[in-house]
Amino acid sequence: MPPKIIGLGLRGLQFFWTLLIMALVGNMIHEAIGGNPSIVNYVMFVAVISMLSLFYLIAATISEGFVIIPILPVVVDGLNTLFFLIGGIALAAYLGVHSCGNIPYVTTNSVTSGSIDETKRCHEGQAVCAFLWFGFLTYLASLAFSAMEARGGSTSFRGGIRRGGPSMSQV
């Protein structure tokens, strides 16, 4: 039972981070003047793919009846982990980790410029970057749980009992 509770907790956190990312990036896109850089659009893609895949992953975590192929949750978790990792690295590289109070930085950075309130857009971009990393960590943890589950349901924390071999009554 504990792995199911942990799995649902991880899925809930993934939903939370994805929702925050989608809301902040959606606001960045809405308030843009003259378009957005490609990294902003990629991060929105990551959030949409994550949200769509969570519909399946949450159902698969609640009931094994929704798992069509045992390896499918591992593949979906792996892809989401990779997408979040790439998004976190790329957005951090585009932002360049400066203070949002530094006006020359805010007006010349490709992610933060292009809005009426560039300082607000800078804060949103930095928050999205942090949430991408939090989402990456939760997807990495659930990838480990999904992989253990696909290998035969060995996610129980009891340990010590060997499965698959003959028991003493069969010897």
Dist. CA 2–CA 4, nearest whole Å: 5
| Amino acid residing at 93 | A
Place of tokens 């990456």: 136
Digit-coded pLDDT (tens) for 39-77: 999 999 999 999 999 999 999 889 888 888 888 999 999
Percentage of the chain modeled with pLDDT above 70: 88
Closest CA to 77 of 96, 56, 93: 56
For residue 156, pLDDT beyond 50: no
Dist. CA 15–CA 68, nearest whole Å: 22
Using the 8-state DSSP alphabet, how is residue 115 labeled? B
Q: Report pTM.
A: 0.84
Question: What's the average model confidence in pLDDT over 87-111?
Answer: 91
| DSSP string covering 54-94 | HHHHHHHHH-GGG-SSTTHHHHHHHHHHHHHHHHHHHHHHH
pLDDT of residue 167: 60
